[in-house]
């Protein structure tokens, strides 16, 4: 600990903390609270006293043992936190002890302390509560890197995003509004479609009641959309491709209906379509830091001036992480679910 700068005498940072650390894969009941050692920030990392941690669908896949864990990821779940920097690892230059930050982490968010690379920390926007800020990084990094990065979405484009009320979906709607995209979303019920329209979707289609592919072509005057951000996969892929305009981009971020799909190569050739996709978690720190910098410059100012806000649906205490997962699995949320670690 000799190389660490800390906010307080080192004896004020405890040796152990409360953390959710499942003994193995399983249902929500494996999300047990345990005492675990407080992690030490390595070079270029900071230690955060976590006030709140976001819950994301990948956490559920991890809990079920279905997520390919990147090397070095802690068994404690949680991909995003908000809190106060309490110690600096060697070589940290920008952040100071006491800074309120929201951070993308490799794992370990469901805990009283977590380490994050300095480069994946962003300031808590002015006036925003930790519980709101904790739900920003995972979806903002993902939507930015996929819809605007790989998908190359720009002002005036039409985009189609499935899961319109999900954390990813509501973030996509907010960013689409900010950057003047026309966004069509799909949802599993009319009530969720209404919620997505309230968030700001240009159109919302109840995929259980309507054929989304036919409707997308109609809504775009037969032209199709420029980008599909797809979290469904499987049999959605050929239907998504039908929705794309000439030169359109199909960006996969999940495959809830299966990793295999049948693709009409003729359609890809005739319309010069691009099929791509990505996973954020295994990307290196340099990539994530680049995304963070872009978000800081192009998106974070919109939180400060009120054009963007956090989409917090519900909070649960850390000890009730199992209830938070059950709630996410029920699919009743609109936006983000967050664990409150310290009041």
Q: Which chain residues interact with ligand NAP by CB under 6 A?
A: 56-58, 138, 142, 162-163, 165-169, 187-188, 192, 207, 231-232, 253-254, 256-257, 278-280, 328, 331
When CB distances to ligand NAP are compared, the closest residue is: 166
Tell me the C-alpha distance between 128 and 203, whole Å. Answer: 29
Nearest to 278 by CA among 148, 104, 117, 135: 148
CB closer to ligand NAP, 116 vs 231? 231
| Minimum gap (Å) between residue 97 Cβ and ligand NAP | 30
Which C-beta is closer to ligand NAP: that of 144 or that of 158?
A: 144
Structure tokens at 284: 């290196």
Q: How far is the CB of 337 from ligand NAP (least distance, A)?
A: 8
Helix (H) / strand (E) element for 334: namely: none
Kindly state the DSSP code that residue 137 receives in the 8-state scheme: H
Min dist CB 279 to ligand NAP, Å, is: 5
Query: Virtual CA dihedral for 192, 193, 198, 200, nearest 10 degrees?
Result: 120
d(C-alpha 139, C-alpha 79), whole Å: 10
- Using an 8 Å Cβ cutoff, are 291 and 141 in contact? yes
What tokens appear for 78 in the block?
């949680």
Please name the residue that has the structure tokens 């978690």.
Answer: 281
Cβ distance to ligand NAP smaller for residue 231 or 292: 231
Nearer CB in complex with ligand NAP: 107/169: 169
Q: Which C-beta is closer to ligand NAP: that of 49 or that of 315?
A: 315
CB of 228 to ligand NAP, least distance (A): 13
Q: How far is the CB of 132 from ligand NAP (least distance, A)?
A: 16
Cα–Cα distance, 32 to 178 (Å, whole number): 40
User: Measured from the CB atom, is 18 or 294 closer to ligand NAP?
Assistant: 294
CB of 133 to ligand NAP, least distance (A): 16
Minimum distance, C-beta of residue 196 to ligand NAP, in the bound complex (Å):
9
Nearer to ligand NAP, 86 or 219 (CB): 219
* 222: exposed, middle or buried (Cβ count in 10 Å: 0-12, 13-18, 19+): exposed
Residues 6+ positions from 76 with CB-CB distance below 8 Å: 19, 20, 21, 36, 107, 108, 109, 110, 111
């Amino acid at each position: 600990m000799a190389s660490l700068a800390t906010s307080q005498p080192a004896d004020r940072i405890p040796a152990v903390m409360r953390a959710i650390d499942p003994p193995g894969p399983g249902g929500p009941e494996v999300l047990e609270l345990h005492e675990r050692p407080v992690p030490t920030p390595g070079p270029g990392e900071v230690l955060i006293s976590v006030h709140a941690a976001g819950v994301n669908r990948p956490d559920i896949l991890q809990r079920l043992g279905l997520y390919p864990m990147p090397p070095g990821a802690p068994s404690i779940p949680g991909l995003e936190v908000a809190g106060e920097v309490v110690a600096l690892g060697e070589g940290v230059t920008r952040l100071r002890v006491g800074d309120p930050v929201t951070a993308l982490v490799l794992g370990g968010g469901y805990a009283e302390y977590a380490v994050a690379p300095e480069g994946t920390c962003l300031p808590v926007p002015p006036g925003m509560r930790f519980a709101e800020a904790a739900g920003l990084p995972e979806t903002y990094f993902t939507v930015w890197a996929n819809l605007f990065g790989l998908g190359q979405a720009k002002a005036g484009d039409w985009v189609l995003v499935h899961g319109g009320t999900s954390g990813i979906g509501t973030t996509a709607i907010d960013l689409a509004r900010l950057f003047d995209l026309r966004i069509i979303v799909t949802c599993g019920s009319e009530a969720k479609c209404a919620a997505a329209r309230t968030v700001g979707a240009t159109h919302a289609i109840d995929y259980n009641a309507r054929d989304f592919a036919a409707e997308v072509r109609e809504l775009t005057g037969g032209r199709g959309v420029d980008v599909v951000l797809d979290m469904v996969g499987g049999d959605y892929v050929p239907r998504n491709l039908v929705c794309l305009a000439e030169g359109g981009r199909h960006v996969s971020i999940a495959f809830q209906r299966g990793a295999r799909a049948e693709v009409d190569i003729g359609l890809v050739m005739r319309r010069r379509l691009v099929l791509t996709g990505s996973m954020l978690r295994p990307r290196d720190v340099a990539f994530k830091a680049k995304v963070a910098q872009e978000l800081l410059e192009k998106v974070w100012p919109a939180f400060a001036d009120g054009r963007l806000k956090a989409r917090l649906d519900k909070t649960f205490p850390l000890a009730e992480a199992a209830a938070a997962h059950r709630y996410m699995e029920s699919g009743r949320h609109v936006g983000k679910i967050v664990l409150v670690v310290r009041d």
